[in-house]
Amino acid sequence: DADVTQTPRNRITKTGKRIMLECSQTKGHDRMYWYRQDPGLGLRLIYYSFDVKDINKGEISDGYSVSRQAQAKFSLSLESAIPNQTALYFCATSPGTGDQETQYFGPGTRLLVL
Amino acid sequence: GQNIDQPTEMTATEGAIVQINCTYQTSGFNGLFWYQQHAGEAPTFLSYNVLDGLEEKGRFSSFLSRSKGYSYLLLKELQMKDSASYLCAVRDGDYKLSFGAGTTVTVRA
């Protein structure tokens, strides 16, 4: 079974609709992240959480909100979707502050906003 | 913030060697990572450097020069399955990663 899962894997929605992307992990990691990926721009950080009570904005948080329901779950919401939020969204986790700590990515959610 | 540059595309022949360069300007440096990403899939960890020098892992090696703000990923004995995008990422003092736009490597037979 995958350690980091995302649902849905694909989503088509209309402008103005509210949608939620969900991320779950079985790795027992405290840290979780949401990124979006656009062609030519690479991965950009939307929000991150270092534990259940900690939520931080990334470089492109406008138009998004998050909820850390438990150590294992971190959801991303688009309150009123717009077409330029069409992108590939990745959730990631990491264990803590170890030097060689890397991030582990979920399979991604492909979102199309019409 | 971070400014990370890497070439957009590279093409090489099966069995050859390819070197992907990454330059960065950072407000804080706490390690440099390389990830591999096949089309439509999640990035996966390849290598990590925090001190100057070369780290070797099988066919893949990564080099770091902190004074020059420079790293490279060296792929040896290229295989068709190495066709992918390679992402350079810099970690800051808050343990957040900033990513370059990625280098798409195409391996030809």
- The predicted pLDDT at position B31 comes to 92
Among the partner-chain residues B96, B97, B101, the one whose CB lies closest to the CB of A40 is B101
Give which of B36, B98, B103, B104 to mutate to test A binding, by max A Cβ within 10 Å. Answer: B98
By the CB < 8 Å criterion, does B1 face chain A?
yes
Query: How big is the CA angle at B96 (ends A86 and B37), to the nearest 5 degrees?
Result: 55
B42 touching A (Cβ < 8 Å): yes
When CB atoms are compared, the residue of A48, A99, A104 closest to B96 is A48
Contact B76, B58 (CB under 8 A): no
User: Is B102 within 8 Å of A99 when comparing Cβ atoms?
Assistant: no
The pLDDT tens digits of the residues spanning B22-39 come to 999 988 898 999 999 999
- The strand pairing partners of A67, in sequence order, are A75
Reduce the DSSP state of residue B27 to 3 states and report it: coil
Interchain proximity B40–A108, CB inside 8 Å: yes
**Residues β-bridged to residue A36:** A44, A89
Q: What are phi and psi of A47, to 5 degrees?
A: -145, 155
**pLDDT tens-digit series, residues B53-80:** 999 989 999 999 999 999 999 999 999 9
Taking residues A26-42, report their average pLDDT. 92
Residue A72 confidence (pLDDT) above 70: yes
Cβ atoms of residues A54 and A35 within 8 Å: no
- Residue A108 to residue A5: CA distance in whole angstroms: 8
pLDDT above 70: percentage of residues in chain A: 95
Cβ contact (<8 Å) for B100 and A42?
A: yes
Query: What pLDDT does residue B93 have?
Result: 79
B58 CB contacts (<8 Å, ≥6 apart)?
A: none
Contact check, Cβ <8 Å, A103/B1: no
Predicted local distance difference test score (pLDDT) of residue A91? 98
Give yes or no for A59 touching B (CB within 8 A).
yes
Other Cβ atoms less than 10 A from the Cβ of A112: the count is 14
Contact indicator for A30, A71 with CB cutoff of 8 Å: yes
Quote the Cα angle for A54-A57-A63, to 5°. Answer: 125
pLDDT at A2: 67
How does residue B94 score in pLDDT terms, banded at 50, 70 and 90? Answer: confident
- Tell which residue, B100, B106, B11, has the closest CA to residue A40: B100
Tell me, what's the pLDDT at B14?
97
Mean predicted confidence (pLDDT) in A71-88: 97
pLDDT above 90: percentage of residues in chain B = 85
Q: Are the beta carbons of A107 and B42 separated by less than 8 Å?
A: yes
Is the minimum CB–CB distance between A31 and chain B shorter than 8 Å?
Answer: yes
- Average pLDDT (A16-41) is 94
Percentage, residues of chain B above pLDDT 70: 99
Chain A contact set for B99 (CB, 8 A): 42-44
- Taking only Cα atoms into account, the Rg of chain B, rounded to an integer number of angstroms, comes to 13
pLDDT of B1: 56
Residue B51 banded pLDDT, cuts 50, 70, 90: very high
For range A45-54, the mean pLDDT:
94
> Any CB–CB contact under 8 A between B99 and chain A?
yes
Smallest CA-to-CA distance from B89 within B81, B99, B77 is with B99
Give the mean pLDDT of chain B: 94
